[in-house]
Homo-oligomer: A and B are copies of this chain.
Amino acid sequence: MAEPRRTRIQDVAEQAGVSMMTVSRVLNQDKKVSNKTRQKVMAVVEKLNYRPNVSARRLASSKSFFIGLLYDNPSDSYISQFLLAALKKCRALGYHLVVDEAHLDINKTIESVKQLIDVTQVDGMILLPPMCDNEDVLEVLTKANVPFVRITPDTKLNSSPYICMDDYQAAFDVTERLINQGHKKIAHIIGNNKQGVSRLRYQGYLDALRSNKITTPPEYIEQGSFTYQSGMEAAVKLLALDDKPTAIFAANDDMAAAVISIAQQQGINIPGDLSVVGFDDTQLARSVWPHISTVKQPINEMAELSVSLLASGQYDNMSNLKSLELRHILDFELIERESSSIK
């Protein structure tokens, strides 16, 4: 096969009647190019469908065009979805994703991060919960001057960009919907108390009850940890109460699935006797029966945005950031399925 040679920067330069350098500048968003030249070059780029050779670029520049992703054993569904979305976005922008799992031993995780910085030389890092809130990890990155984006609602670090959804409002809305459907006895299983989202979801639940003037006995609140197991334990307690709740709002889908399982074992009809709602909209929500009503996190959008932000280079100089630019909130969506219904 006579393979058609890929177009190079030189081809573009020749057809546009400029030097390779000018083309390079246009492609790298260098401001010091006249608008006229820029348009001329872009036209040829489009015409020839020119894509820079990433390897050459990487070799010549100091940039690695690698973005690191550090995650810590969240649900397979969540990580898989996030990963695929991030991979696609990276590819579109000429970057590559380097994935690493955090270790139980925090020191090993720090080692991994240092390796990503020194050996792989990542241009930026994406931090998923709960690593996104680990001070030690953040310090290592900050010291090495490696930009990072955190997926977290936690605002404790004012100096770094983060992506989140309005967990509080989502929890409020979900709870209020249950109320509007006639439920008054609504229990809540709180998520892992080390993650900021747990607090926010709990608060949204509480405020929705309050603003609808519903009082709830303290036994309706159970502390979970986002695991299926913790959901089972909470469900056993909640369903053993004399005055059983008619609805249970769990802080994630895994715990909601556990509630459904326990209820079914006890012969409790869902949603007839008990409505169950979760949070996240992972695949698990559609892998049990009845399917779980839940809140859809914009996981794909979060993944894409985190890559885009790092690739844009706007956070490369981490010292001069206005706090206004740091927060990126994405929309959520309530998903009604068969696990909840009108009382």
Contacts and interface: CB of A to CB of B under 8 A. Distances in A.
Given A76-B80, A261-B264, A264-B261, A228 B289 contact: yes
Interface string A282-314: 111011110000000000000000000000000
A258 B290 CA distance: 10
B76 A99 contact: no
Given A59-B56, A98-B91, A287 B228 contact: yes
A80 B288 CA distance: 19
Interface string A250-283: 0000100110011011010000000000000011
Contacts of A261: 261, 264, 288-289
Interface string A49-86: 00101111011000000000000000111011101100
B53 A287 contact: no
Contacts of A240: none
B83 A258 contact: no
Interface of chain A, main secondary structure: helix
Given A84-B101, A228-B288, 18 more contacts: A53-B59, A54-B55, A55-B56, A55-B58, A76-B81, A76-B282, A80-B83, A83-B83, A88-B99, A96-B96, A228-B286, A228-B287, A254-B287, A257-B287, A261-B289, A262-B289, A265-B289, A284-B287
Given A59-B53, A99-B87, A119-B51, A76 B257 contact: no
Contact of A80 (B1, B51, B80, B119): B80
Contacts of A119: 51
Contact of A55 (B59, B83, B91, B101): B59
A254 B289 CA distance: 12
A286 B228 CA distance: 9
Interface in A318-334: none
Contact of A289 (B59, B101, B232, B267): B232
A287 B283 CA distance: 12
Contacts of A91: 98
Contacts of A144: 1
Contact of A84 (B96, B99, B232): B99
Contacts of A262: 289
A3 to B, nearest CB: 8
30 contacts: A1-B144, A54-B55, A55-B55, A55-B56, A55-B58, A76-B77, A76-B80, A76-B81, A77-B80, A80-B80, A83-B83, A83-B84, A84-B99, A84-B101, A87-B99, A88-B99, A91-B98, A228-B286, A228-B287, A228-B288, A228-B289, A232-B289, A254-B287, A257-B288, A261-B261, A261-B264, A261-B288, A262-B289, A264-B264, A288-B288
Q: Which 7 A-B pairs have the closest CB atoms?
A: A80-B80, A55-B58, A55-B55, A264-B264, A55-B59, A76-B77, A76-B80
A287 B287 CA distance: 10
A264 B263 CA distance: 9
Contacts of A282: 76
Contacts of A265: 264, 289
Contacts of A80: 76-77, 79-80, 83
